Structure 1
Amino acid sequence: MLRYDAADIDKKYYYDGDDLGANIIGENKDRTVFKTWSPLATGVYLNLYLDGEGDNRIETVPMEKLDKGVWYVELFRSCDGLFYTFSYEFENAHNRLETIDIYAKACGVNGNRGAVVDFSDTDPKGWDKVEKPKCENACQAIVYECHVRDFSIDESSGVCPEHRGKFLGFTHSRTRCGKSETCLDHLKELGITHVHLLPVADYATVDEAHPEKKQYNWGYDPKNYNCLEGSYSTDPADPKCRIREFKELVMTLHKNGIGVIMDVVYNHTYYTEESAFEKAFPKYYHRTRRDGSFSNGSGCGNETASDHMMYRKFMIDSLKFWATEYKVDGFRFDLMALHDIETVNIIRDELNKIDPQLLMYGEGWTGGESPMPADKLAYKWNSYDFGRVGLFNDNIRDSVKGGTFNPYDLGFISGNRNTASILRRGIAGSVPHHQLHDASEACWAFEPTQAVNYVEAHDNHTLWDKLKISGSNHYSPADLIKMDRLAAAIIILSQGMPFIQLGQDFLRSKPRKLNEGESPNEVNIYSQDSYNAPDFTNAIKWDKKNKYRCVFNYYKALIKVRRSSPLFRMADKGEVGQHLQFLDTGDYNFVIWKLEDDKECFVIALNPYLEERYFNLPWGIFYRRLDEFGFIDEEEQSGYVRCAPLSATVFKRV
């Protein structure tokens, strides 16, 4: 067992080169250089293969140790199309540890061997001509979270069978389910600005060689961080195929003015002792407890050590690769609170050098206890220490719909009269506001750009399932639909960055297949953790868009309102304090606020009651910019006005 101090390793052996991995070089691309970092290895070997799996090794070549713990070999030929691994020897080890290169940028089927790729051969036609969409700051974005397979795997998507559930499912236009547009045309019709893709980097638990098995996973079980997931390609055995097809996805969305955000999972590895990191340099890339055992802040068996210089460098190099080679528009960090604050800030600095408009946000919590001091980690309560990075706003989430981990808990929209203080904080972007003095725990954001407002994501119950569980015994189906629309209005019209899950806009549900002998009840018929559930649970059933077209149209109208005025997208807390004012209705749960500058004035009213409510508009003549159905009523109004039950109403001054 290797014994060393990681800080001492960092001091002696930190390597700042940008050439780790396999690189084809030379004016004629006639040489290939392989480099890996393992400072305490006593020998490292390059293994070359003809294919991504099987008994087809060409040769094994010893590598030369350079300064700073780097091992090197140069072959005087292009290895484009070949596959490779490294084998590591350590003192007192009984055998060589063979593994894929942690820096591999392409891989064979199931990600056990790296692939040498000339990336210039992977660009689809027109790749260099398509411009990325502009997004000045996070408040300009409206993010739509999608899983690649969910998006198009169902027959109702209208996508051709060979592209269903694949990257190419995002590239089809004019797909329909009945009278409703689906997939790409749906994204355009809804009006979102960015698609957030659940992990598309290579993950461990789907057998890419056997797609007929109908396997499923969200992808938070990372195996190779710089390679794409092969099950989303039409030919997993061809490394260039998945690269080219993902680029086609990005290019198509960019052509249509939509950015692409990658969900990245650097906080843990799916394998621990058997991971490529552990084989390359044992006990360096993961955090450990004092007894040498692996800590488990992720809840997945281990956690990575972002505070170790070469894992920090790995994360930065990886993100720079995705941002430049694939032209993605941002990153969402899974369990970001496991990364130390210093690393998070350095990542933001490095992304700014590429493009300051790259979005960066993540989860401000962990999945377990980390040995690293909590004040050093990117927890939400430390937000002021990394204020340029967004965080999911669980305060507004739970205030709107009720506690996430109690399916029966009620929120503002479903009858809880004790959440209005937290709700107001969220409406104001979770930044300090001169009118708000309660719910200080919900005032956490450095700027409104840091607040990612949502009521539904891939985790936990969908909003619609939550409403049915908590409210079916008290409310009619029509009332539950009104609550859903009211929740959408809060999220989309609040300051910050709105975040919506695929299908939320037409009442997405995740039905669960019961186990044999299990009796159905109002809770267990819905999945609250569908990470490996079948398509029966996760696939988008596009016919629901036909059924709930009125809900979709309302979400679409809300997005149009938000995008119509900068008053809904203020990026500075000083602007929020100046231009947002809460109005006193005499009823703290009848929440009304005004957005006003020298050009425009909006009044937004939230009525959480089953009965209509009335209030006095400020001075001036207004019209109803959005009613409870999402329509515009241009009739001039002033003074005392009506708000429909369980609804949001937006008035605009003429």
Structure 2
Amino acid sequence: MIKRITIVLAAVLLYFGFNNQVVLGLDFKDIKLGSIVVTDSSVEYTDFRLYAPLASEITLKVNNESEDYSFVMEESEGLWFSRVSTLGNLHGFEYVYEVTTTEGSFDIIDPYAKAVSFDGSKGVILDLSQTNTANWIEMKDVNTRKSKQFIYGLHVEDFSSHQTWNGPENYKGKFYGVISTGTSISGQPTGFDYLNTIEVSHLELMPVYDFGVDTYNPGYEGMFPFSLSRRYAQEQEFDAPIMEFKEVIDFLNQNNMSVVMKVDFINYSNYFYNSMSKLVPDLFISEGVINVDNDFAKKYIIDLFDYYASEFRLGGFSIRNIEKYPLTLIGEIASVVKSANENALIYGGGNYSETTPGYFSPSELKNYEDISLFNYSLRDGLFGSLFNNEDKGLLTGDYSENNLEAVKFALLSSINHKDLDYSKVKNLIYQDQWIASSTYQMINALSSYEGLTLNDKLRLNEFSETYNISKIQQAYLTMFLSGGIPYIYNGDEFLKTREEVIRTEGEDLVCYERLCFRSDISETGHPINWNRLNSNKSMAEYLKTLVLLRNNNNLYSLQFNEETIKNKISFNYDGEGVLGIVYTTGRDSLRDIEKAYTAFNYTGSFKKVTFPKGDSWRARYYTAGRQLLDDGINIDPYGYYISFSIKQAGFSFWVPLLFLVFLFTGIYLLNTFLASLIVKRDGDLSKVKMKGKEKYLNLLKRREDKKVKAGEAQLNKEETKEDSKVVKEDKESDKEE
């Protein structure tokens, strides 16, 4: 039905004066909906457009602080529209639609409203040109080199709400809390300053659009998806959320960080479901779950991505439940996002066991090179599932082949390889279909917002926090040396725990063995205790080392694909729980490094690893193994070893040439020295037998000339002095006479 309205709608809109916004033949999906403020030198008006095919009558109600206005809207094939040109610029006016259907009359907030009133009862009209801050700059591609991308995920409120953050009180849990500088605890930087020290390239924010409640919320069920949440704004003006969010983006861009917005445009709040289901038929498949096969639903989702990508110049999107998006929709999303920023990241995750033909799944990676997927095989292989404490990984004592293959899968970034057995990769759905076209289609993550933290997973398995540091360091080393893009969720790298927030008596708790956690975290969240970073400062320094290693060594930043990876990576095995990997590249022009060998000991005991044969492993860095052997090294428990193979220089004509140059230079200098000794002793140059005698004679002559000149100058000086003395004596004699 939507496609049939194109010509009729365009003609009607032209008649009613909408020719500035809609032209004959324009597809419905390209028509802007919502309130659109138009201002130029000659005209100023606001257009209102709402798609509501189930409505029989709609009245637009607009008000400011002193006046209320009503306008009956016109309709054509389900699209309702009105132009208000008598009130000037309506920036800051509130508005609502009074809709009449077969179910009666009711007020509804525009689903395209860019802002919502303080009490959440009305939409607010925005002239977006007035929301740009003084420092709002043109988009600059601050992170174009894929090998240097490093994503750090956080929840805006969690990031700065804990007392140990030590920032301004009125910024706690707010947008400004993300970019506040000068915060620290006992000298250890916290907040943004900490992120800056570990060189984060992309900051992924949990959903920041309006979820309609004034309590902590992960933001997955949007109530007003086009409007940013007031909860994160310091000021309470109607345009504060959008202006402050732009300030955050601008500040981060200027500090070489891109902003990624996490979104869930599949699930919506009860309010959104109850109101929109009365306007558009077949819009939902169940309560709050949108029907992505509905034409209007597709348009709505695409418009959301388009708005945030273009208006806020984001560095990318993290799409929750990506497996629920049709392939055609994914393609259109990628198109609008990339048109706003060609370097934007688009990645997602979900439950791939529930994929449906025609919808996005790992098997489609090769067909959609702009899309990346979360890869949790490294997490499952090293720790086991964070949602099932019975599941173990290499670092929690299960050295099975499935876990080893899961780690290899991550190191290879899912690229097909002769040494990888897809059928044995732990917890991998569609084993034979996880083949990416490039390594950067994998986002390697060890944890996320949901589930246990890494530290709590280890604590539940009777491990001490002393070894937990070594294990988490080992896990991050593996991740940063893997293909793909590393991802860290806020606080897991410095042993965050969620046990700290559940100490109130009588709460609904979920217990795993001896540790208990709140079952409903939506009320308290996961505030980051920055004192844990202060207590584990070595982790911050360790992360800096990993970022430096990855960013400055082309062995770990190559973009592998299926055609080249066979000759770039090979594996070496040295027993249970030990894995070695050899990275090969062309000869490094600066350091002559040809290969890198990394050995991981994922066990709690010393393990010997043998160097791969045929190479000279001379340069050793980043060792956590103390006993070097003739053919290998003993690695500490949960330790590692990185060694570089130096390219041996072959025979070259430069070698004998340089030898002759040094030889003759040495002979010449020696003869010159001996000649000077002879002349000094005998004063007779005739005894000097050498080809350089003439040159040496000239040198002596120049020296004698200098001495003569110096002597003459001294003689003239003495004569002048003597003449002055004679003149003085003559004057004294004349006076006496």
Q: Partner residue of 1:396?
A: 378
- Alpha-carbon offset, residue 365 of structure 1: 2.0
Alignment of 1:295-374 (within 5 A): 301-365=287-351, 374=356
RMSD: 2.8
Output the CA distance in 1 between the equivalents of 2:289 and 2:512: 36
- CA-to-aligned-CA distance 1:602-638 (integer Å, 9 cap, x gap): 2221101222222233412433332349xxx9x9998
Pick from 116, 121, 142 the counterpart of residue 150 of structure 2: 142
Q: Partner residue of 2:254?
A: 255
Instruction: Return closer, same or farther for 1:575/1:551 CA change in 2, 3 Å cut-off.
Output: farther
Instruction: Return closer, same or farther for 1:57/1:514 CA change in 2, 3 Å cut-off.
Output: farther
Output the CA distance in 2 between the equivalents of 1:327 and 1:41: 35
- Alpha-carbon offset, residue 71 of structure 1: 2.7
Pick from 389, 397, 415 the counterpart of residue 407 of structure 1: 389
Query: 1:623 aligned to 2:619?
Result: yes
Figure out how many residues of one structure are paired with residues of the other and give that number: 605
Alignment of 1:59-78 (within 5 A): 59-66=69-76, 69-76=79-86, 77-78=88-89
- CA-to-aligned-CA distance 1:180-202 (integer Å, 9 cap, x gap): 00111111101221110001011
- Alpha-carbon offset, residue 276 of structure 1: 4.0
Output the CA distance in 1 between the equivalents of 2:50 and 2:511: 55
Contact 2:54 2:278 (8 Å CA) reproduced: no
Contact 1:110 1:230 (8 Å CA) reproduced: no
Output the CA distance in 1 between the equivalents of 2:242 and 2:158: 20
Q: Partner residue of 1:595?
A: 583
- Alpha-carbon offset, residue 330 of structure 1: 0.3
Structure 1 gap segments, 5+ residues each: 1-7, 208-214, 288-293, 295-300
SS in 2 for 1:321: helix
SS in 1 for 2:83: strand
Alignment of 1:411-422 (within 5 A): 411-418=393-400, 419-422=403-406
Code of the aligned partner of 1:21: G
SS in 2 for 1:151: helix
Instruction: Return closer, same or farther for 1:638/1:312 CA change in 2, 3 Å cut-off.
Output: farther
Pick from 566, 569, 587 the counterpart of residue 581 of structure 1: 569
Q: Partner residue of 2:140?
A: 131
- CA-to-aligned-CA distance 1:477-512 (integer Å, 9 cap, x gap): 322221111111122221111110111221111114
Instruction: Return closer, same or farther for 1:83/1:569 CA change in 2, 3 Å cut-off.
Output: farther
Pick from 163, 167, 174 the counterpart of residue 159 of structure 1: 167
TM-score (normalizing by structure 1): 0.86
Instruction: Return closer, same or farther for 1:576/1:415 CA change in 2, 3 Å cut-off.
Output: farther
SS in 2 for 1:402: coil
Code of the aligned partner of 2:532: K
Structure 2 gap segments, 5+ residues each: 7-26, 647-737
Higher RCO, Cα 8 Å, sep 6+: 1
Pick from 600, 609, 613 the counterpart of residue 603 of structure 2: 609
Q: Partner residue of 2:188?
A: 180
SS in 2 for 1:568: coil
Alignment of 1:338-487 (within 5 A): 338-365=324-351, 374-380=356-362, 382-418=364-400, 419-438=403-422, 439=424, 441=428, 442=431, 444-447=434-437, 448-470=439-461, 472=462, 475-487=463-475
Output the CA distance in 2 between the equivalents of 1:73 and 1:186: 50
SS in 2 for 1:551: helix
Q: Partner residue of 1:3?
A: none
Output the CA distance in 2 between the equivalents of 1:582 and 1:399: 19
- Alpha-carbon offset, residue 422 of structure 1: 1.8
Alignment of 1:27-42 (within 5 A): 27-28=40-41, 30-42=44-56
More helix by proportion, 1 or 2?
A: 2
Instruction: Return closer, same or farther for 1:565/1:72 CA change in 2, 3 Å cut-off.
Output: farther
- CA-to-aligned-CA distance 1:357-391 (integer Å, 9 cap, x gap): 1111111327x97xxx8112223455445443111
Instruction: Return closer, same or farther for 1:501/1:528 CA change in 2, 3 Å cut-off.
Output: farther
Q: Partner residue of 1:543?
A: 531
Contact 1:143 1:499 (8 Å CA) reproduced: yes
TM-score (normalizing by structure 2): 0.77
Code of the aligned partner of 1:196: E
Contact 1:620 1:638 (8 Å CA) reproduced: no
Q: Partner residue of 2:94?
A: 83
- CA-to-aligned-CA distance 1:506-531 (integer Å, 9 cap, x gap): 11111141564589965474437664
Query: 1:223 aligned to 2:223?
Result: yes
Moved more, 303-312 or 217-226: 303-312
Q: Partner residue of 2:126?
A: 117
Instruction: Return closer, same or farther for 1:463/1:313 CA change in 2, 3 Å cut-off.
Output: same
Q: Partner residue of 2:502?
A: 513
Output the CA distance in 1 between the equivalents of 2:70 and 2:640: 67
SS in 2 for 1:582: strand
Moved more, 441-450 or 142-151: 441-450
Output the CA distance in 1 between the equivalents of 2:410 and 2:313: 32
Instruction: Return closer, same or farther for 1:614/1:327 CA change in 2, 3 Å cut-off.
Output: same
- Alpha-carbon offset, residue 547 of structure 1: 0.4
Structure with max Cα Rg: 2
Percent identity over paired residues: 21
- Alpha-carbon offset, residue 576 of structure 1: 5.6
